[in-house]
Amino acid sequence: MSVLAPQTEPPGYLDLRAVGAMNVGNVLHGLGVIPEHSVATYVFSGDDGRDFSIEVRALPQEELARTDWVSIATQKPLREQNSEDALWFTYVADAQAVYCNFRSYADLGRHAKDLMKFVQERAASKLVIDMRENGGGDYKVGLNDLVQPIRNNPRINQKGHLFVLIGAGTLSAAMNNATHFRAQTAAILVGEPCGARPNGYQESREMRLPNSHLTVSYSVAYYTFVEGGENLVRPDQAIKPTWQDARTGKDPVLAWALKYGSE
């Protein structure tokens, strides 16, 4: 199903798109994976190593929106909390750190000011910016309202005090701002490679084809955010979470950042 994604994007993004399409009946049917679009049989491997299958029937979109999802984790990690918030933060006392989950650019100016005020009030020695689920927005807003204020904070902008968590879900403007954190601050990038390439076409626009009435998305500007080297944003510290981590609610990426310098 990765064929549905642009093949010029990093492998992590292709995997992300494939996983996102695995529960869409029309996609599975169109690719010839299932004979009809409303019923699919999934085969899983249990923790005991044995395979088992489940037949799943499609739900109407309105019913799906009302569905209450159950987490597989025995305890919900910080990255999954307050999932509706564009940006939220909390204090992790054991590490004297502020954890900030930056998911969206909505009203970032106000949220970023609140974050910096909270960091100062707590006299935090560490700041962790989690951008693993940020699909993008306006990178100039992120640069002006978040990256630069952190850069100008001498208490936080030191190696071992500032961390940016990235992954396949760090896309578009979020990927751009990750490169800004690397170039303009002392941030250590932790996690997996970003799902978008730093040099390429962006600024998406849409048009409607006159005969088929299909909507086509296209880009209108080419950006270069990394000069030289490979066209990929890799973390300084690579950490790939496992199924066991997901099942138990552990977040080894965040854990590494919080423990950095304590041993």
136 Rama sector, left if φ>0, alpha if ψ -120 to 50, beta otherwise: left
Which of 5-14, 23-32, 191-200, 235-244 bottoms out in mean pLDDT, i.e. has the lowest?
5-14
Asked if CATH classification 3.90.226.10 holds for the domain at 72-259, the reply, yes or no, is yes
192 or 262: which carries more pLDDT confidence?
192
- pLDDT tens-digit readout, 32-47: 889 998 999 999 998 8
- Quickly state the pLDDT bin for 2 (edges 50, 70, 90): low
Q: Give helix then strand counts, H and E, for the chain.
A: 9, 10
- pLDDT tens-digit readout, 81-125: 999 999 999 999 999 999 999 999 999 999 999 999 999 999 999
Q: Where are the domains of the chain?
A: 1-69, 72-259
pLDDT at 183: 96
Angle at 54 between CA 52 and CA 56, to 5 degrees: 165
Give the 3-state secondary structure of residue 172. helix
CA distance 167 to 12: 8
pTM: 0.90
Q: What is the mean pLDDT of the chain?
A: 92
Token pair, residue 40, equals 């699919």
Residue 174 has pLDDT above 70, yes or no: yes
Average pLDDT score over residue span 189-193: 98
- Quickly state the pLDDT bin for 80 (edges 50, 70, 90): very high
